[in-house]
Structure 1
């Protein structure tokens, strides 16, 4: 059976101020950028519809797994799942992080196909150049069985490239710490099935992604404990998930352990894609092909997100 693994940066999915469940919020919207309940509900419906269609053409069903980033809290997650068609039977793993913007990562799974055995929220302390503590998103970890096959997931959202890329060393440090966690998994099972999905705030050809995560540029080079990033090929073919000042970038990626490329493994990689169907794209002249985002500066656009979702199809061999 084929299964979809998706990842979506949903661009500041906060509750509205007048949502009855709202607590003290860290909304970035001020003055004429007011975030209302109707805009919140509109965005929820849009995001839910997008997710429910990712990989549907290939698998004829909802995604078995998906990771999200830039979500505010559990209330937002529960509201989002209420929007799903047919009340899909999703479970999720989430915990509020210490991120300064109040946004988190979360992992979702279809209970029909996946059973969770363990989970963890990996909080990696990082610091600014002056020694002060910085706060970013936790890495969400989940371990379980997909149709009796053990599989491990890591969902991340690395620090951004703002202000002359001052967060570069922080991204490297977090990936280095993540690789230690991956090694712990491999210490217990050298044939572990591992998937890393997230917004890396770097393109897949960046050298330190190879170095810190032990990625190889070709499948043929792969050895035990090494990883492969199929989104590198998409990037080299000028396919992007987000844009900045007209420049395309593929920050959103899904990376796999060597096992998914072994012929005798019961879980196998099939294909990877960017979900950039026309309805998700900006219709403004000069911005055609870019994501239809919720806000552009101070202007409310009413779109989906400033990122396209990405996804991969894997096959579970009986």
Structure 2
């Protein structure tokens, strides 16, 4: 067996337990989320608004550019969370801004990812741009037992704040909120996947909450509704299994401090604050320290978050538990010159970049006897 395959299959992490001066071995898995930013193919789909991302569209989106985008994203995914703790690419990758299943098939077939043998869970969402969320998973470690897309039902009348003045940036917003004739705001569904991670049951939710188009305050009720839906899904899972392990990840279009996260989901800053059936958000402390997964209106923030249930922060490592979190922002993914120096390196007129978001990740660990 090759050394690389040995690490991929076993993934042992040695941790020193100072109290007993004992060295224990742990299996480790990386759970990641990445907003792929406009992962569109070059084929016109009459059912969605993809005209901008065609060879004759505003982005002049050619096959060559599309293939480069796929290659760039594959490079990042392959490297997220790798290092001393884990030699393997992420076991789970939640993704957003995905046009269809086909682009995901192209992504996982890239030479950088093909040996990871990713499976795909994807549904088409009713979003007006035709962008969806999805979950990639390594088949050798995770076996889905059920999956469902859960609609976020929100309506224009739900915005009770006074209208804010729309800026030029709002008008040009790629994710501008649109309202249908029935007053519903069609946005991304929540994806819920349940399955076995090396024998342990895990529930994974993938989100892409409504944008801030039209102003943060005006659009906040939509994201607050998304937070409440996450909480409702969690409560439903707990009714079936009070000991369920739940991970909720996504581009929330809100910071860790916003009402949608703090009150809607009920996420806590510190582990000791988390009560039974509660939620811990490791990215809140990271945000307080000035870390960012994106820049919004010239200010850094963490809209990309991974939250874990109380059952994943227990200290019994006989099954998988949360260990630590990070933001993957290597130099090759960062703009080095000009007005946007330090920002994520995204697609431009003369360069096919990566994304306008940095991916985020957590580690799950389990003691191996």
Return the alpha-carbon distance in structure 1 between the equivalents of residues 252 and 350 of structure 2.
26
SS in 2 for 1:56: coil
161 and 84 in structure 1: CA distance in 2 versus 1, 3 angstrom threshold: farther
Aligned-pair distance for 1:84?
A: 4.2
Which ranges of structure 1 fall in alignment gaps of 5 or more residues? none
Aligned-pair distance for 1:128?
A: 1.3
2:61 is the alignment partner of 1:11: no
Matches within 5 A, 1:47-86: 47-57=73-83, 58-85=85-112, 86=114
Return the alpha-carbon distance in structure 2 between the equivalents of residues 84 and 313 of structure 1.
25
SS in 2 for 1:45: helix
14 and 31 in structure 1: CA distance in 2 versus 1, 3 angstrom threshold: closer
SS in 2 for 1:179: helix
2:347 is the alignment partner of 1:294: yes
Equivalent pairs, count = 311
Aligned-pair distance for 1:180?
A: 1.1
Matches within 5 A, 1:279-318: 279-295=332-348, 299-318=349-368
Do the aligned partners of 2:188 and 2:207 also contact (CA within 8 Å) in 1?
Answer: yes
Return the alpha-carbon distance in structure 2 between the equivalents of residues 32 and 71 of structure 1.
19
Aligned-pair distance for 1:37?
A: 0.9
Q: TM-score, normalised by structure 2?
A: 0.81
Partner of 1:37: 63
Do the aligned partners of 2:226 and 2:264 also contact (CA within 8 Å) in 1?
Answer: no
Q: TM-score, normalised by structure 1?
A: 0.93
SS in 2 for 1:92: strand
RMSD of aligned alpha carbons: 1.6
2:204 is the alignment partner of 1:139: no
Identify which range, 197-206 or 258-267, moves more after superposition.
258-267
Partner of 2:272: 220
SS in 2 for 1:270: strand
Return the alpha-carbon distance in structure 2 between the equivalents of residues 63 and 32 of structure 1.
34
Q: Which of the pair has the greater relative contact order for Cα pairs under 8 Å at 6+ separation?
A: 1
Return the alpha-carbon distance in structure 2 between the equivalents of residues 157 and 210 of structure 1.
17
208 and 33 in structure 1: CA distance in 2 versus 1, 3 angstrom threshold: closer
Identify which range, 32-41 or 139-148, moves more after superposition.
32-41
Do the aligned partners of 1:81 and 1:87 also contact (CA within 8 Å) in 2?
Answer: no
Do the aligned partners of 2:325 and 2:361 also contact (CA within 8 Å) in 1?
Answer: yes
110 and 247 in structure 1: CA distance in 2 versus 1, 3 angstrom threshold: same
Identify which range, 158-167 or 272-281, moves more after superposition.
158-167
Return the alpha-carbon distance in structure 2 between the equivalents of residues 90 and 255 of structure 1.
23
Matches within 5 A, 1:242-253: 242-253=294-305
Aligned-pair distance for 1:286?
A: 4.2
Do the aligned partners of 1:13 and 1:71 also contact (CA within 8 Å) in 2?
Answer: yes
Aligned-pair distance for 1:227?
A: 0.3
